[in-house]
Amino acid sequence: MARYTDADSDAQRLPEGFHRIGFDADTSIYTFSGPDGKLYESEPGNRYGELYPVGEPRPQRSEADIEAVNAVIEEDHASAVRTMLPFALLVFVFMLLVFKLAVIRFKSGKAKPENRTRRDSVESFLKPEKGRLDSVVEREKNKDFG
């Protein structure tokens, strides 16, 4: 939804007597007819803005205009970077703490892996738990003898 819904129609945004009659999807240029019957085109990508007569050369921007636009873009870029710095600092401090805690845990010996072989782990998996199966086997032995 547009931000200003009250100024979304062509009648409100175009000069008196202008009507939008087409759009070229390849060049992203809108075509308008003027009150005098001449055709006008918009800038590429702009639905509204400056209109130029079809077939006439458009005025070229001067070097000073281009430099002014580039300066504004560069200023906006610096402003965006400045806005992101506190967030980047928080992420950096968080990562520093995570790595610091990992190093402390590793140096304390708690995180050292045991020297176990595959055979040890398989045997411990297959070995019955103490008390559970042994007690059942003992009861069966006692029944035979008792």
In a domain, 29, yes or no: yes
Q: Is the pLDDT of residue 125 over 80?
A: no
- Domain enclosing residue 18, as ranges: 7-53
Per-residue pLDDT reduced to its tens digit, 75-120: 888 888 889 999 999 999 999 999 999 888 777 765 555 666 655 5
Query: Pairing mode, if any, of strands 51-53 and 29-33?
Result: unpaired
Q: From CA 47, how far away is CA 12, in angstroms rounded?
A: 13
The count of structural domains within the chain is 1
In a domain, 77, yes or no: no
Half-sphere exposure of 51 (CA within 13 A, CB side): 18
Q: For residue 92, what pLDDT is reported?
A: 97
